[in-house]
């Protein structure tokens, strides 16, 4: 994990917990993975092995998910911490605004 | 394309008075009107249409389906009758929402219905604000805050009755929605042309574009405001943004903020197309396709995004875009 991405992901996770109003802590593990302890759960975020077609894994006690970007990581982390979370998909209007 | 103005505003804020005056104005002839409440006003007008809902009480926007289908049907029927010559060939449409309505579902209908989008274009969201009671209304009713936050133009009504409340109200409105233009209407009088004149981003001059974004004369961000859970802030980027980073950013915003993202608009320097800025505009999770300008409207080539949202933290937005940009940079470095 590059230094810049490393710092940015950590900051994003910290701000996300705050934004979602989920009290919790984030720890760095020896192998570079991040461990989130929040909502009575532990969620581990690690870089995927280089031979796999995705970049990240997000694992909790129940399942392991893969993600191709930090936005995918964010989706999986939120879903792991809040089982009632339902994401909203971006929609693109058919035409540009105004005549 | 037929321009559509959505006229919103809290109960008693003067929407109907304003609309009544406008319909008698010669410049407002050839206007079809859709009102969201039966019997709210007896408009003696050939083109008055009324959708079924008397009112829709919305808190999060999730009830929008209740009004969407009906409004889309009403608009489609109106267009069909216009094509058939059974109504006057109107040149614009005004939709008056009920005083308790969330205007967002109406915007969604106009933006996302493929059939309507071919014929209709959202020209502006206009919100009336009662100068006498507006401040108290904004304190007490979150619907009114959202109506103001979503507006392109704010019409201050009953200014003839106001006694000293204007300055506080103006400050509150500026904090809630610095991008909205403000007009005063005494006795419901306002220039009709101004309601439909919001300007197409592609044709805006530099100063107008800054005004559309709510930026100051130097193109800098508006002062961040935060009232009743609604905040307005700007995201500035000196360096061009990769197209994939912008896409991921908008997807994540829509995904995590949804109905709380009241409005996002901005001009973006896309790294792959730096000479042609992209103007983006979204309401909640629905975005228009970007409008590509022929050239930068000024020497300022920074990306500037203005976000109005409910309970959305500026720091989270900044962290999100920073992480996305860092990952895109890492992927490109590995692939190079």
CATH 1.20.1630.10 fits B2-196, yes or no: no
Q: Is residue A13 part of a domain?
A: yes
Residue B139 structure tokens: 């304190």
Q: Which residue has the higher pLDDT, B62 or B290?
A: B290
For A94, counting Cβ atoms within 10 Å of its Cβ (0-12 exposed, 13-18 middle, 19+ buried), the class is: middle
Q: E strands of B58-150, at which residues? A: 92-96, 120-130
Chain A residues close to B239, C-beta within 8 Å? none
Structural domains of chain A, count: 1
Asked if the model's pLDDT at residue B10 lies above 50, the reply is yes
Domain ranges of chain B: 2-196, 218-335
Expressed as residue numbers, the domain containing A19 is 3-81
* Structure confidence at residue B214 (pLDDT): 59
**E-strand stretches of A24-85:** 24-28, 34-38, 41-47, 56-59, 64-67
- Which of A48, A54, A78, A96 to mutate: most B Cβ within 10 Å? A96
Q: Specify the CATH class of B218-335 in words.
A: alpha beta
Report pLDDT for B200.
47
Does residue B156 register a pLDDT over 70?
A: yes
**Mean pLDDT (chain B, rounded):** 77
Q: Is B235 helix (H, G, I), strand (E, B) or coil?
A: strand
Q: What is the pLDDT of residue B253?
A: 93
CB contact under 8 A, A16 and B254: no
Is the pLDDT at B207 greater than 60? The verdict is: no
B324 touches chain A (CB under 8 A): yes
Q: Is the pLDDT of residue B271 over 90?
A: yes
Q: Which of B47, B157, B145, B50 is nearest to B104 (CA)?
A: B145
Q: What pLDDT score does B323 carry?
A: 97
Would the CB atoms of A92 and B289 count as touching at under 8 Å? yes
Q: Give per-residue pLDDT as tens, A30-82.
A: 999 999 999 899 999 999 998 888 999 999 998 999 999 999 999 999 999 99
How confident is the model at residue B204, as a pLDDT? 47
Question: For residues A93, A97, B1 and B5, what is the CA-based torsion angle, rounded to 10 degrees?
Answer: 100
pLDDT digits (tens, 9 = 90+) for B304-335: 998 888 888 999 999 999 999 999 999 998 87
pLDDT at B48 over 80: no
Residue A81: phi, psi to the nearest 5? -85, -25
- pLDDT score for B273: 93
CB pairs under 8 A between A and B: 134
Q: What is the pLDDT of residues B33-46, one digit of tens each?
A: 887 654 333 332 33
* For range B291-308, the mean pLDDT: 87
Question: Measured between CB atoms, does A83 come within 8 Å of chain B?
Answer: no
Helix (H, G, I), strand (E, B) or coil at B157: strand
Asked, for residue A14, whether it belongs to a domain, the answer is: yes
Does residue A97 belong to any structural domain of this protein?
no
Contact between chains at A93 and B251 (C-beta distance less than 8 A): no
Lowest mean pLDDT of A21-35, A71-85, B207-221, name the range: B207-221
pLDDT for position A75: 95
* A70 in B contact zone (CB under 8 Å): yes
Domain assignment present for A69: yes
Measured between alpha carbons, how far is residue B138 from residues B67, B114, B284, B312 in Å? 24, 35, 21, 19
Does the residue A86 lie in any domain? no
Judge whether residue A13 has pLDDT over 80.
yes
Distance (Å, whole) CA B261 – CA B258? 6
Residue A96 lies in a domain: no
């Amino acid at each position: 994990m590059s230094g810049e991405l490393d710092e940015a992901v950590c900051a994003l996770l910290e701000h996300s917990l705050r934004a979602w109003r989920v009290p919790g802590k984030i720890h760095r593990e020896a192998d570079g993975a991040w461990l989130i302890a929040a909502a009575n759960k532990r969620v581990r975020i690690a870089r995927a092995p280089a031979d796999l077609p995705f970049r990240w894994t997000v694992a909790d006690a129940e399942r392991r998910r893969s993600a191709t970007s930090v936005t995918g990581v964010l989706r999986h982390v939120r879903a792991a911490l809040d089982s009632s979370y339902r994401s909203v998909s971006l929609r693109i209007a058919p035409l540009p605004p105004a005549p | 394309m037929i321009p559509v103005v959505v006229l919103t505003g809290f109960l008693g804020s003067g929407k109907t008075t304003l609309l009544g005056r406008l319909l008698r104005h010669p410049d407002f002839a050839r206007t079809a009107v859709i009102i969201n409440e039966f019997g709210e006003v007896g408009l003696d007008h050939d083109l008055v249409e009324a959708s079924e809902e008397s009112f829709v009480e919305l808190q999060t926007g999730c009830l929008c389906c209740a009004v969407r289908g009906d409004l889309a049907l009403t608009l489609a029927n109106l267009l069909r009758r216009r094509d058939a010559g059974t109504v006057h060939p109107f040149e614009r449409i005004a939709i008056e929402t009920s005083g308790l309505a969330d205007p967002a579902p109406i915007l969604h209908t106009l933006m996302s219905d493929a059939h309507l989008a071919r014929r209709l274009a959202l020209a502006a969201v206009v919100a009336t604000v009662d100068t006498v009671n507006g401040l108290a209304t904004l304190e007490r009713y979150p619907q009114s805050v959202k109506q103001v936050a979503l507006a392109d133009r704010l019409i201050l009504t009953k200014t003839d009755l106001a006694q000293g409340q204007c300055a506080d109200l103006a400050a509150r409105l500026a904090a809630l929605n610095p991008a909205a233009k403000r007009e005063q209407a005494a006795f419901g009088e306002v220039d009709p042309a101004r309601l439909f004149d919001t300007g197409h981003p592609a044709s805006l001059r530099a100063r107008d574009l800054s005004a559309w974004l709510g930026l100051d004369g130097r193109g800098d961000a508006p002062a961040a405001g935060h009232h009743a859970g609604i905040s307005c802030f700007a995201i500035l980027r000196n360096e061009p943004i990769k197209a994939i980073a912008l896409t991921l950013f908008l997807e994540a915003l829509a995904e995590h903020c949804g109905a709380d993202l009241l409005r996002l608009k901005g001009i973006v320097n896309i790294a792959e197309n730096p000479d042609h800025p992209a103007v983006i505009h979204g309401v909640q999770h629905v975005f228009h396709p970007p409008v590509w300008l022929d050239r930068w409207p000024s020497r300022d080539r920074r990306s500037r995004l203005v976000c109005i949202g409910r309970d959305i933290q500026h720091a989270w937005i900044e962290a999100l875009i920073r992480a996305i940009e860092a990952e895109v940079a890492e992927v490109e470095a590995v692939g190079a």
